[in-house]
Amino acid sequence: MKAYLLIPISLVAVVAIVGPLSADAHGPALAASTAAASSPASFSQHPTTSNGTGGGSSGDSKGDASNIVHLPKSYVPEGRILFEESCASCHGPTAEGSSRAPNLVGLGEATIDFWLSTGRMPLSAPTVQPVEKPPRFNKKQILEIVAFVHSLGPGGPGIPKVNLHGASLTNGQSLFTLNCAACHTVTGAGDMLANGVFAPSLHIATPREIYEAIRTGPGNMPRFGPNTLSRKQVEDIIAYVRGPIQHPNNRGGIGLGGVGPVAEGFVAMLALAGLILVVFWIGERS
């Protein structure tokens, strides 16, 4: 008989414990958003923000000049040494290129910085598209090489100083889905394109790398210059990638890697298999 007393006691206990613990709980990634999260949903008829979707705003190269990293001239000789050791065998001693590697002169500091700091260069083996890997050089060495190549011929975008203060996630979402999702997928997971080319995953990209990739269009990626996407628009995209792409709001539970219906289909099959095991238990065999 004592066992039956346990039932109402545990009932009360559960209600008493679970209740207060769950009060005021927010979903995981919502905590990253601010106090504005508590307003109930409402749909107004008047736009409060403009829906910027990429376009030719006036060039911001003037603004760019104050927001780029200026490398000291003292880096050039060090960079020459590193370049001759690791890059000249394919790119030539003055970076003029060869049958194996492109001409690097005039491509801009941002380009060289991107390829080196994502570790795609130096190549470990010939391939259709280099993959991201731990960089061979440390940060200072990379800047030295960049300074050296830039000294061979000016031109191209500089290394940006990215400022995400005041970036708009909404604008970023809109620009990302228009310009980036077609290759990188809408969750930034990356996928295989044609002829062995692939769009890499965006999950470990740093703000500087994203800026450089957008401006310089590495490999088969298109190039979005200042007349296509303004600096503010690029920073909005970066904020969106660093936020909802790299830290997605997976309020619904296990995110399955953002792969989508393919992964969901597998889980549904697993669930069905589990239910069939239950059926196997309930029913008879033979």
* Residue type (1 letter), 258: G
Q: Is 125 in the site for another protein (CB under 8 A)?
A: no
Closest by CA position to 77, among listed 145, 1, 150: 145
Q: Is 99 in the site for another protein (CB under 8 A)?
A: no
Of residues 59 and 77, the one with the C-beta less far from another protein:
59
Closest by CA position to 92, among listed 129, 19, 101: 101
- Give the Cβ contact number of residue 143 at 10 Å: 23
Q: Is 111 in the site for another protein (CB under 8 A)?
A: no
CB of 259 to another protein, least distance (A): 7
Closest by CA position to 245, among listed 208, 198, 210, 194: 210
Name residues contacting another protein, limited to 51-70 (CB under 8 A): 51-57, 59
Choose, by CB under 8 A, the member of 1, 31, 45, 73 that binds another protein.
Answer: 45
Choose, by CB under 8 A, the member of 117, 141, 174, 230 that binds another protein.
Answer: 174
Q: Determine the distance from the C-alpha atom of residue 57 to the mean position of all C-alpha atoms in its chain, rounded to a whole number.
A: 24
Query: Are the beta carbons of 247 and 255 closer than 8 angstroms?
Result: no
Closest by CA position to 89, among listed 117, 114, 126: 126
Q: Is 165 in the site for another protein (CB under 8 A)?
A: no
Choose, by CB under 8 A, the member of 1, 2, 46, 138 that binds another protein.
Answer: 46
- The site for another protein, by CB under 8 A, has a size of 114
Choose, by CB under 8 A, the member of 1, 35, 125, 279 that binds another protein.
Answer: 279
Which secondary structure element, helix H or strand E, spans residue 38, and what is its range? none
Name residues contacting another protein, limited to 194-223 (CB under 8 A): 194-199, 217, 219-223
Per the rule left: phi > 0, alpha: psi between -120 and 50, beta: everything else, 247 is beta
Q: Is 177 in the site for another protein (CB under 8 A)?
A: yes
Q: Determine the distance from the C-alpha atom of residue 76 to the mean position of all C-alpha atoms in its chain, rounded to a whole number.
A: 31
Q: Is 42 in the site for another protein (CB under 8 A)?
A: yes
Q: Is 182 in the site for another protein (CB under 8 A)?
A: yes
Choose, by CB under 8 A, the member of 26, 70, 133, 139 that binds another protein.
Answer: 26
Choose, by CB under 8 A, the member of 27, 77, 93, 155 that binds another protein.
Answer: 27
Task: Look at the block and give the residue holding tokens 């002829």.
Answer: 195
Of residues 85 and 280, the one with the C-beta less far from another protein:
280
Q: Give the binding range for another protein (CB under 8 A) out of 47-55, 62-70, 82-90, 104-112.
A: 47-55
Going from the C-alpha of 40 to that of each of 36, 37, 43, 47, the distances in angstroms are 10, 8, 10, 18
For residue 253, give both structure tokens.
């539970």
Dihedrals phi, psi of 163, to nearest 5 degrees: -120, 105
Of residues 9 and 72, the one with the C-beta less far from another protein:
9
CB of 271 to another protein, least distance (A): 6
Query: Are the beta carbons of 216 and 226 closer than 8 angstroms?
Result: no
Choose, by CB under 8 A, the member of 24, 66, 73, 126 that binds another protein.
Answer: 24
Q: Is 97 in the site for another protein (CB under 8 A)?
A: no
